[in-house]
Amino acid sequence: MTPPRIAVTVAYAAPGVEALLVVTLPAGATVNDAIAQSGIAATLALDLTQLQFAIFGQRAKGETPLQNGDRVELTRPLIADPRRARRKRAADRSRPGSDPGARDRG
């Protein structure tokens, strides 16, 4: 009898690059196992030390065990702090004449 296996999708996206690879792994495999099996890091010349991982959008570690049907996502670092960006947009809207959604009522 063959040991049970799981199918997992490994995903990566960046401007101009999109990769979705399905890999088959033994039950009990981890995020690191899926990434290694996919070969995505070598194919796209990715530095895994600069990336984080998620399973269906929820942060995960390399040692996180996978289940059949999981989608492992390799995520790039944020360019801007989302909180700081929201504060800046709010401050910009509070300045007179800076509301991009305002209509000319003249």
Enumerate domains of the chain plus CATH numbers.
Answer: 5-83 (3.10.20.30)
pLDDT class for 7, splitting at 50, 70, 90?
very high
| Mean pLDDT score, 36-57 | 94
**9 has pLDDT over 50:** yes
Q: Is 74 exposed, middle or buried (0-12, 13-18, 19+ CB in 10 A)?
A: buried
Res 106: pLDDT:
46
Quick one: pLDDT at residue 78?
72
The better pLDDT of the pair 93, 25 is held by: 25
What integer pLDDT is reported at residue 92 of this predicted model? 87
The strands making up 58-60's β-sheet, listed across from edge to edge, are 17-26, 5-14, 71-75, 52-55, 58-60
